[in-house]
Chains A and B, each alone.
Chain A
Amino acid sequence: MRRKFTFLVTLWWVILCGALGACLLLFANPEPVVSEQENRTLAGMPALTLDSLRAGGVGESFESFLTDKFFLRSDIVDETTSLKHLFSVLTLDELLGEEGEETFVPTLVLPEQEGKTEAIQTQPEEPADIDEAPEQPDEQQTALPAGESVDVVLTHADGTEDTLFTYSKEDLQTTADVLNAYAALLPVGGKLHVLLAPRAQTVNKLALHTDTESGWSSDVEPALQSLVSSNVAVHSAYDIFRGPILSGEYVYFRTDHHWTARGAYLAADAMLKSAGYQTIPLSDYGETTIEGYLGSIYLHGRNAKLKELADEIEVFHPLLPADSFRVSNAYKKNELPVIDESQTNYLVFLGGTSGPYRVLEGGYHTGRNMLLVCDSFGNSIAPFFLPYYDEVYLVDFRDEYYSRDEARGGVKDYVRRCGIDDIYVVLSEPNGIGSQYLTRLMPTNID
């Protein structure tokens, strides 16, 4: 009896497996599709031709197809990761401090749009006056504090401190060299603003613990300021956010490494005010909210514990003088909306990053253009610059988005052709100091 039972259980399993496999082959969608939840493209059925079989690799592609298109895959992935995390002793704080995954931007297949393709070369060249070089820092000015390194420090309520980051003089000098190179591209009177934004993993050490932490301070910005040209203004994100965070403003996501649109506004506001602009209050913007957002930090480990900290995305709609508000690549106008309402994650801002150069055309006539050198933090801050500039150009030098071939021109040419008056460098702190990414910004991509 027991032998028969065991045999039947085994046989049932084999039949179930076979039936599942057959159903997958018959009913699974053979096309690749973008999974917003998983932040990637799910594999499609590979072509089973003689050539592809001979070349090898079909086995792995087919396996990807089966796993990606498995019935109830999303639920299974969530349940599996939740189960795995039962065996872990990581606390919520540790999970919030984990590396995030950059939001995936699916490759856009855009139809050829006759008449909408506009080469940047067709824009009138406005020679910029760059003969008068801004004042470079001298040796006296570049002295760093003793020990030749600077810290970012978290202050506890009891007065004790913890060092969050330490940067060496070499790291700062590399950043300063990049900034000075950009500053040198500007015409007379042009200003370069720099803001190195901490990631949520850092900010939430204060924001989620205002009962035990009292604030933070950073020596990075003063030290960097001493190393850069006179037309460069270094802004401290730590100073900008300290007050709002302590008063409970929602300036950074919890499950995503970015700032919220509110945080981006505060950063833009501080930079614009320092440049002498009278800024528009946030309350003047139209607002919508997306609930239940689980961002990059959640996606990294998919730990179910983080679901209870799901974020909401506040979206502030640009103030439009006209209803044709578009994001364009430098070479093709691709009709991407500034606020992509089809998205329910950070991609809502500019639809994510796409292409080497982008431009936001505000429809205003201020007579000034700006260039935003940024990573993904730039996507949410860029719309807030629109009322103050005719055109907001964006460059994102990260490997995924920028290649020399695709860009077909260095930043130097770009700045001259587009008549850039001011440059804003808005990078997440790990991208801005001591990173490989900085080498992408210098020097060959500028010339």
Chain B
Amino acid sequence: MVFSSLTFLLLFLPALLAAYFVCRKLWWRNAVLLIGSLLFYAWGEPVFVLVMALVSLFVYLGTLAFSAAKQTAAKKALFVLTLVLSLGALVYFKYAAFFVNQLSPLFGATAVMKTPRLPIGISFFTFQAVSYAADAYRGRVRVQRNFALLLLYVSCFPQLIAGPIVQYADIEYELTERQTTLDDFSAGMRRFATGLCKKVLLANILGEMLAELPDAGASVAAAWLTSGVFALQIYFDFSAYSDMAIGLGRVLGFRYLENFNYPYISRSVSEFWRRWHISLGKFFREYVYFPLGGSRKSRHRTTLNLLFVWTLTGLWHGASWNFVLWGLYYGVLIALEHGALKYAMKRTPKAIGIFLTLIAVLFGWALFYQPDLASCARQALAMVGVTMQGGAPAFAALMDETTLHALRTYTAFPLIACVLSLPILPAVERKMQHRLRLQRTAHLFSTLVLTLGVVLSVMNLVSESYNPFLYFRF
């Protein structure tokens, strides 16, 4: 099920909240939440509920087994087995076909493996399960002996499908001890409404604009606009989902960590990744980069670690060379920022730093957005003003008619999105909150804006058809 759907807004959410708050005891609330979460997932992918349940079961049994093991070697072996089993589904559904098809020609095989249908959100719930197993192994969290509670952690519907990747340690306490105050309820729903507006009124419309743009190699403007509009679309789409997840979590008594922090004002690529999909960065940092030695070893080893982690990050987003290169691209940039460019970065003025980072990110989105390497190369070349004509390089046109038409059709939306991707509104809100007289006005104003936003979002949903989130495919 999708948050930005009438099924969710008009049926699932009111029914779930009613059932949830009718229950007074946490045990019952957890039961309602677990059943609701399984229904939420099963609505779109009924068969794949079993995959999620199996992954949870492997982790549950595995953690029980290695926590009971007396010898370190046995404990380690059981931990590795748990990881292998819990990652098995992810590897099969997401990567097996890619690797088999890449490697089979090397062994003279001609058969092609068909990519199986990907269970929605498998990367997210698998990583949550794995993070729990790793934390339990390291003794950071207590082993959960109640399977229903562990399943609730993995399947909890607000963050089930597109994150944020919630670590077990962050909600361990809330699984058994939590409450929702009036403030939590209101603030959570406001956050949810904010996310809904971002998704429906900005991301979806930017997606429409993107669909109207020509092939990114058509002109310099088309190439830059494709990257720019996609950058805004994916930001508003994914951060909207995180807003909705965090908001719903708060309504239900969970406090999830922030997943985005205005990434497009970053002064460096490293900073960009500290502001973009924060929970994924945290996961790779804690469970891959640090165990490899992080930056505490030699300079070469640090570079190797970075490249390895970023290749994995690319692969996490999808099994294709585009994503691998996208990951490596960031790995190289971050390695450079940590190494050769370290001192130059420090002396670079803030505005120039932001500008250069933005350029680097926009080139990165070309890799991410395009379906294959050829289209990606075409876009990257057009971004620097080059096009290939009959195998020979030539100057690309600055503007083409289709791009101009798309710009004239959606004129204001990219501009509004640009403004909203900067931390201007929070700054205004903070300023108003500091003045007592303005507090009430600010509150009323934001309530009105959100109410209008929700009305417009519902109107837009009625006018549109199915509109899944971009990060569902990961």
Q: What residue of chain A has the Cβ atom nearest to residue B416's Cβ?
A: A87
What residues on A are CB-neighbors of B374 within 8 Å?
none
Question: A114 contacts the other chain (Cβ, under 8 Å)?
Answer: no
Q: Do the beta carbons of A63 and B15 come within 8 Å of each other?
A: no
Question: B461 contacts the other chain (Cβ, under 8 Å)?
Answer: yes
Q: Do the beta carbons of B186 and A10 come within 8 Å of each other?
A: yes
Q: Do the beta carbons of A56 and B45 come within 8 Å of each other?
A: yes
Q: Do the beta carbons of B6 and A2 come within 8 Å of each other?
A: no
Which listed segment binds A: B80-88, B284-292, B403-411? Answer: B403-411
Q: CB-defined interface of B176-214 with A at 8 Å, one 1/0 digit per residue?
A: 000000110110011001000000000001000000000
Q: Do the beta carbons of B10 and A21 come within 8 Å of each other?
A: yes
Question: B71 contacts the other chain (Cβ, under 8 Å)?
Answer: no
From DSSP, what is the main secondary structure of chain B's interface residues? helix
Distance in angstroms from A50 CB to nearest chain B CB is: 9
Distance in angstroms from A13 CB to nearest chain B CB is: 7
Q: Do the beta carbons of A89 and B411 come within 8 Å of each other?
A: yes
Q: Do the beta carbons of B465 and A67 come within 8 Å of each other?
A: yes
Question: B61 contacts the other chain (Cβ, under 8 Å)?
Answer: no
Q: CB-defined interface of A170-183 with B at 8 Å, one 1/0 digit per residue?
A: 00000000000000
Partner pick for B405 among A13, A64, A76, A94, CB 8 A cutoff: A94
Distance in angstroms from B75 CB to nearest chain A CB is: 40
Which residues between 441 and 462 of chain B lie within 8 Å of chain A, taking CB atoms? 443, 447, 451, 454, 456, 459-462
| Total residues of chain A contacting the partner, CB 8 A | 42
Q: Do the beta carbons of B463 and A76 come within 8 Å of each other?
A: yes
What residues on B are CB-neighbors of A90 within 8 Å?
405, 408-409
Question: B28 contacts the other chain (Cβ, under 8 Å)?
Answer: no
What residues on B are CB-neighbors of A18 within 8 Å?
10-11, 14-15, 18
From DSSP, what is the main secondary structure of chain A's interface residues? helix
Distance in angstroms from A382 CB to nearest chain B CB is: 35
Question: B325 contacts the other chain (Cβ, under 8 Å)?
Answer: no
Which residues between 1 and 36 of chain A lie within 8 Å of chain B, taking CB atoms? 2-4, 6-7, 9-11, 13-15, 17-18, 20-21, 24-25
Q: Do the beta carbons of A67 and B186 come within 8 Å of each other?
A: no
Q: CB-defined interface of A70-112 with B at 8 Å, one 1/0 digit per residue?
A: 1001001101110110011110001000000000000000000
Question: B104 contacts the other chain (Cβ, under 8 Å)?
Answer: no
Show 13 A/B contacts (Cβ-Cβ < 8 Å), sorted by A.
A6-B186, A7-B186, A10-B186, A14-B14, A17-B9, A21-B6, A66-B6, A80-B456, A80-B463, A83-B456, A87-B411, A87-B413, A88-B412
Which residues between 176 and 208 of chain A lie within 8 Å of chain B, taking CB atoms? none
What residues on A are CB-neighbors of B183 within 8 Å?
3, 7
What residues on A are CB-neighbors of B462 within 8 Å?
67, 70, 73, 76-77, 80
What residues on B are CB-neighbors of A76 within 8 Å?
459, 462-463
Assuming A83-B456, A94-B408, is B465 touching A64 (CB within 8 A)? yes
Distance in angstroms from A99 CB to nearest chain B CB is: 11
Distance in angstroms from A430 CB to nearest chain B CB is: 16
What residues on B are CB-neighbors of A66 within 8 Å?
5-7, 10
What residues on A are CB-neighbors of B5 within 8 Å?
63, 66
Q: Do the beta carbons of B17 and A14 come within 8 Å of each other?
A: yes
Partner pick for B14 among A21, A59, A67, A84, CB 8 A cutoff: A21
Which residues between 1 and 23 of chain B lie within 8 Å of chain A, taking CB atoms? 1-2, 5-7, 9-11, 13-15, 17-18
B interface residues with partner A (beta carbon < 8 Å): 1-2, 5-7, 9-11, 13-15, 17-18, 42-47, 182-183, 185-186, 189-190, 193, 205, 405, 408-413, 416, 440, 443, 447, 451, 454, 456, 459-466
Partner pick for A77 among B45, B410, B463, CB 8 A cutoff: B463
What residues on A are CB-neighbors of B443 within 8 Å?
2, 6
Partner pick for B185 among A2, A10, A77, A87, CB 8 A cutoff: A10
Beyond known contacts A2-B443, A70-B462: 7 more, CB 8 A cutoff: A10-B185, A18-B15, A56-B45, A56-B46, A67-B465, A73-B462, A90-B408
What residues on B are CB-neighbors of A13 within 8 Å?
189, 193, 451, 454
Q: CB-defined interface of A51-63 with B at 8 Å, one 1/0 digit per residue?
A: 0011010111011
Q: CB-defined interface of A258-284 with B at 8 Å, one 1/0 digit per residue?
A: 000000000000000000000000000
Q: Do the beta carbons of B9 and A62 come within 8 Å of each other?
A: no
Interchain CA distance A66-B2 in the complex, whole Å: 14
Q: Do the beta carbons of B46 and A53 come within 8 Å of each other?
A: yes
Q: What residue of chain A has the Cβ atom nearest to residue B192's Cβ?
A: A10
Q: What residue of chain A has the Cβ atom nearest to residue B205's Cβ?
A: A84
Q: What residue of chain A has the Cβ atom nearest to residue B460's Cβ?
A: A80
Interchain CA distance A77-B189 in the complex, whole Å: 26
Distance in angstroms from B413 CB to nearest chain A CB is: 6
Distance in angstroms from B364 CB to nearest chain A CB is: 28
Partner pick for A81 among B43, B405, B463, CB 8 A cutoff: B463
Interchain CA distance A7-B189 in the complex, whole Å: 9
Assuming A7-B182, A14-B189, is B11 touching A21 (CB within 8 A)? yes
Q: What residue of chain A has the Cβ atom nearest to residue B405's Cβ?
A: A94
What residues on A are CB-neighbors of B454 within 8 Å?
13
Q: Do the beta carbons of A79 and B459 come within 8 Å of each other?
A: yes
Q: Do the beta carbons of B412 and A87 come within 8 Å of each other?
A: yes
What residues on B are CB-neighbors of A88 within 8 Å?
408-412
Interchain CA distance A63-B416 in the complex, whole Å: 29
Q: Do the beta carbons of B447 and A9 come within 8 Å of each other?
A: yes
Assuming A6-B447, A90-B409, is B46 touching A63 (CB within 8 A)? no
What residues on B are CB-neighbors of A63 within 8 Å?
2, 5-7, 465-466
Q: What residue of chain A has the Cβ atom nearest to residue B439's Cβ?
A: A2
Q: Do the beta carbons of A10 and B189 come within 8 Å of each other?
A: yes
